[in-house]
Structures are given as C-alpha cells and as structure tokens.
C-alpha cells in the first residue's frame, strides 16, 4: 500500500497497487480452482458434475455468472495511473467516462433532465446537431455493435470448440456440428446461445456508450451504466469474501463438534447457540456500528479514501462471516455425527489412523458437497443483504459503488416530478441478473449433489 505515495514520475507511470480485498478475491479464486482440479480427479465428484452440466438451466446460469465474475475480477486488479487508482475494468470502460454532466439526464437523452433549464449535455451526444438525427445514429451504432459482437463471439466459440476438440482428440468439425445440432452430451447449445446473446449486447452497449449515456446519468452527472458495472465488484466481494471468513470457522468447529463428542461438542454447541440466538440484523448492525466508530476514530490507519472504503468493505464481510457460520456449523456437526458411526471410519480408527488424518482424509471429503451447496446458496442471499444493509446505513462505505448505494440514493427520486427511474432500474436489473443465476445454479447444484434425489 505504501506504493501510493511513490507517485507521479512520468506522465503515465503505472504500477500495481492492489487493495487487500483484491488479494483476497484472487485467493478465493485460487481455492476454487484448486477445488475444481481436485474434484475433476475424483470419480464420485465427476458424476454429479456431469449431471449438473446436462441441466440446461445450470449451464446458462454458469455462463451468466461467468460474465459477472470476469467483470468483477477485472475490477479487482488495481494500479496507480499517475496519481489515480484505477482498475483494469476502468480501462475497458474508458468510453463510458465521457466526463461528468451536471445532473440527471435520461437514457439516450441529448439534454439535461430538467424542465426549466434543459441544457445540452456537456460531453455525450456532442456529435449530433439536433434530436432528429438521433434514431439513425442509434441504429447505425446498434448495427455496428451487433456485427462486431456476433463475429467476435462466433470466433471465440469456434476457437474454444476447436481447442477442446484438439485436447480431447475429437475432430473439430464433428464437435461443431454436434454443438449446432444440440447433440452434445452436456447442455452446451443453450449456454453458447446465451453467451452469444450477452456478448452481442455488450458490444452494442459499448458502441452506443461511446456517444450516449445508455442508462442516463445520476444526480451528480455520473454515468449510470458505469456505476452499475462497477458495482459488480462489491456484490461479488460480499458474496465471496464472507464465505472465506465463514468457512474455516464452520468447517473446523463443525467437524470437531461432531467427531470429538464430550466437552468440545458442548463448548461449540454453546458458542453457536449463543451466536444464533441474537437476531441476525441486529448483531450485524451493532457490529458494523462499532466498526464504523473504530474506523472513524483511527483515521491514521487508512491513508486514502479508497483504502478506508476497502477496509469497511472487508470488515463488513468479516462481520457477515462471523455472524453466519452457525448454520453451516450445525449442518456439518450433524453430518459428522452420522458419518462417525459408519464402518469405514470405525475401520480407520481400529487401524490406528490418527484423529487428524481421519478428519482430513475421511470426514472432510464426505461433507464437501454440503459446503459447496451452502456457499452457492449463501451467495445470492449475501448480494441481496448488501442492498438492505446499505439502506439501513450499516452497509458498505457511501463512497463505494454498490447496487445498495445506488438504490438508496435514487429511492427518493421516484417522488420527483417527472420521475427519475433509471438509476433504480439499472441497479435492480444488474442485481437481479446475478442473484437469479446464482439461485438457479444452487438449485441445480443441489439436485445434482443430493444423493437422496438420485433414483
């Protein structure tokens, strides 16, 4: 972090300046990849995985989530450009940063959103002389964006298919024709179509965004589309980092309580009963309140606004994690109690395998599916919770771009005459896409992993 004040030697002096949350997200990603590599080598994991991929809804959700994650991860590589902290995503979103208008403007509007004084926008749409040129201009950019997106998207799909067929030693032509006819074993055709659709939309928006405010501007003239896309990072961070904090507690305590009965079990049960007796929102609010006071009282620890906001976000994830491990812990304890009595564990004990080895090698792998389902299930709840917490005033820092903050600041604008609906709608739609795909995926995952449903 000390790199921040090394500063501005050349005009475009660039060096990496990752925030703490950035590192943690990449750490989370590394764990996830490690898990997938592990799961791919295990036959009992390969089977549910294949079952999952045969599910159309699952593959579509994975593609949508993939887009969110790629955008979010690009936003998790920060570096200093001159004296400004920017991320890779900022570079991609360059066309959206025309400069800030004065105040509200409607989507695709040429003027500010004001009855008395509808001035022309300062930055966007300056290439048009008057409004009669607009339909033709929009049409032109949509068509260009459509073909750019279609061609590049198709190119990516063909390339990927060829690459995969080459690795698996199939004929690429054969795989492609199977994909087009929808004859692949896994449900790839719908997923590819959704991929193409979103890819084309992104290109159309990208083309339009260079000349228009596609989703309008907000009260202080920021581009709403830019805000909504930048908010993805916050949503993903809350969904993933919380699990990083929650998992070790839940796994270690849950397995220990189930396996070593007696006093460890009593103590751990007491701990999670006490913690889950406190109404969740109250505990979270109280903790966040305390954290806010701490951060406000120690300004010397956080030299820049970005770092303070980052610390608040991290602390919020930490608090959410600390307050939400109890339910997973209870599930794991119950499952461990059941597994402990099975013959293979008893056999391991008789053979003199150490307790730690039994926990690590025999119990943990057999509760992994519960952990995986919980992570995906919690994810959507956490993204939704962020919005509510921001509304209550105990969410992320007000300077952090997040859907909760967007909703919160634009909520009162519905009472304006005429109404300002676009910031609200943008935040809700972006959030809805992420939460819906996570919910659908968690359903599909549960169906694929739950042995009870296996006939």
Q: What is the smallest separation between the CB atom of 269 and other proteins, expressed in angstroms?
A: 11
The distance of closest approach from Cβ of residue 146 to other proteins in the complex, given in angstroms and rounded to an integer, is: 28
Of the candidates 368, 388, 371, 367, which has an alpha carbon nearest to the alpha carbon of residue 435?
388
* 436 lies in the binding site for other proteins (CB under 8 A): yes
- Measured from the CB atom, the residue of 11 and 452 that comes closer to other proteins is 452
Q: Which residue has the tokens 């999952």?
A: 52
CB-wise, 172 or 286, nearer to other proteins?
286
Rounded-to-integer distance, Cα 61 and Cα 435, Å? 10
Give the full edge-to-edge strand order of the sheet including 78-81. Answer: 14-16, 78-81, 84-87
Range in contact with other proteins (rule: CB under 8 A) among 19-27, 30-38, 214-222, 267-275: 267-275
Stretch that binds other proteins, among 45-53, 171-179, 222-230, 282-290 (CB under 8 A): 282-290
Between 102 and 446, whose beta carbon lies closer to other proteins? 446
Residue 132 or 277: which CB sits closer to other proteins? 277
Size, binding site for other proteins by CB under 8 A = 40
Q: Which of 228, 440, 445, 448 binds other proteins (CB under 8 A)?
A: 440
Q: Does 273 bind other proteins (CB under 8 A)?
A: yes
- For position 432 contacting other proteins by CB under 8 A, the verdict is yes
- Please give, one letter per residue, the 3-state secondary structure of 261-278: CCHHHHHHHHHHHHHHHC
d(CA 420, CA 437): 28
Residue list 337-396, contact with other proteins (CB under 8 A): 380, 384, 387-388, 391-394
Classify residue 162 by burial, with Cβ atoms within 10 Å: 0-12, 13-18, 19+: middle
Please pick, from the candidates 121, 194, 435, 448, the single residue that binds other proteins as defined by CB under 8 A: 435
Task: List phi, psi (to 5°) of 420.
Answer: -110, 105
Query: In terms of CB distance, is 297 or 352 closer to other proteins?
Result: 297
111 DSSP β-pair partners: 120
Stretch of 19-27, 46-54, 118-126, 425-433 lying at the interface with other proteins (CB under 8 A): 425-433
Identify which of 205, 183, 229, 279 has the alpha carbon closest to the alpha carbon of residue 73: 229
Q: Which of 386, 369, 384, 301 is nearest to 20 (CA)?
A: 301
Beta bridge partners of 81: 14, 84
Piece of 14-22, 217-225, 370-378, 423-431 that binds other proteins (CB under 8 A): 423-431
Among 226, 189, 186, 183, residue whose Cα is nearest residue 75: 226
Site residues (CB under 8 A) for other proteins? 270, 273-275, 277-279, 281-283, 285-287, 289-290, 293-294, 297, 380, 384, 387-388, 391-394, 407, 411, 414-415, 419, 424, 428, 431-432, 435-436, 439-440, 443
């Amino acid at each position: 972090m000390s790199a921040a004040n090394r500063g501005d030697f050349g005009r475009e002096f660039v060096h990496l300046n990752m925030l703490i949350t950035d590192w943690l997200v990449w750490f989370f990603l590394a764990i996830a990849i490690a898990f997938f590599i592990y799961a791919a080598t295990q036959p009992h994991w390969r089977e549910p995985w294949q079952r999952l991929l045969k599910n159309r809804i699952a593959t579509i959700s994975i593609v949508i989530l993939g887009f969110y994650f790629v955008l979010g991860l690009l936003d998790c590589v920060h570096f200093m450009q001159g004296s400004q902290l920017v991320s890779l995503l900022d570079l991609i979103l360059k066309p959206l940063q025309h400069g800030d208008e004065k105040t509200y403007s409607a989507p695709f509007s040429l003027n500010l959103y004001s009855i008395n004084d509808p001035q022309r926008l300062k930055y966007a749409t300056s290439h048009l002389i008057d409004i009669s040129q607009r339909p033709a201009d929009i049409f032109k950019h949509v068509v260009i964006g459509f073909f750019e997106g279609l061609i590049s998207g198709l190119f990516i799909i063909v390339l990927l298919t060829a690459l995969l067929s080459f690795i698996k030693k199939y004929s690429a032509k054969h795989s492609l024709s199977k994909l087009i006819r929808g004859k692949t074993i896994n449900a790839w055709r719908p997923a590819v179509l959704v991929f193409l659709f979103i890819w084309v939309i992104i290109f159309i928006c990208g083309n339009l965004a260079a000349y228009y405010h596609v989703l309008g501007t907000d009260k202080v003239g920021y581009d709403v589309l830019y805000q909504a896309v930048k908010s993805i990072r916050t949503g993903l961070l809350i969904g993933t980092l919380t699990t990083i904090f929650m998992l070790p507690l839940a796994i270690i305590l849950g397995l220990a309580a189930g396996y070593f009965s007696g006093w460890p079990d009593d103590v751990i049960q007491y701990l999670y009963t006490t913690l889950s007796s406190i109404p969740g929102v109250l505990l979270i609010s109280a903790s966040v309140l305390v954290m806010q006071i701490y951060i406000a009282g120690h300004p010397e620890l956080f030299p820049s606004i970005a770092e303070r906001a980052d610390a608040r976000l991290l602390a919020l994830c930490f608090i959410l994690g600390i307050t939400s491990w109890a339910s997973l812990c209870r599930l794991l304890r119950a499952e461990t109690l059941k597994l402990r009595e099975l013959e293979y564990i008893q056999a391991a004990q008789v053979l003199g395998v150490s307790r730690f080895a039994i926990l690590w090698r025999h119990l943990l792998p057999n509760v992994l599916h519960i952990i995986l389902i919980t992570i995906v299930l919690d994810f959507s709840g956490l993204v939704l919770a962020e919005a509510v917490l921001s509304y209550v005033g105990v969410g992320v820092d007000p300077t952090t771009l997040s859907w909760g903050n967007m909703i919160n600041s634009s909520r009162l604008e519905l009472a304006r005459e005429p109404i300002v609906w676009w910031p609200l709608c943008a935040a809700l739609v972006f959030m809805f896409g992420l939460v819906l795909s996570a919910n659908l995926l968690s359903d599909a995952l549960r169906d694929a992993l739950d042995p009870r449903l296996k006939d």
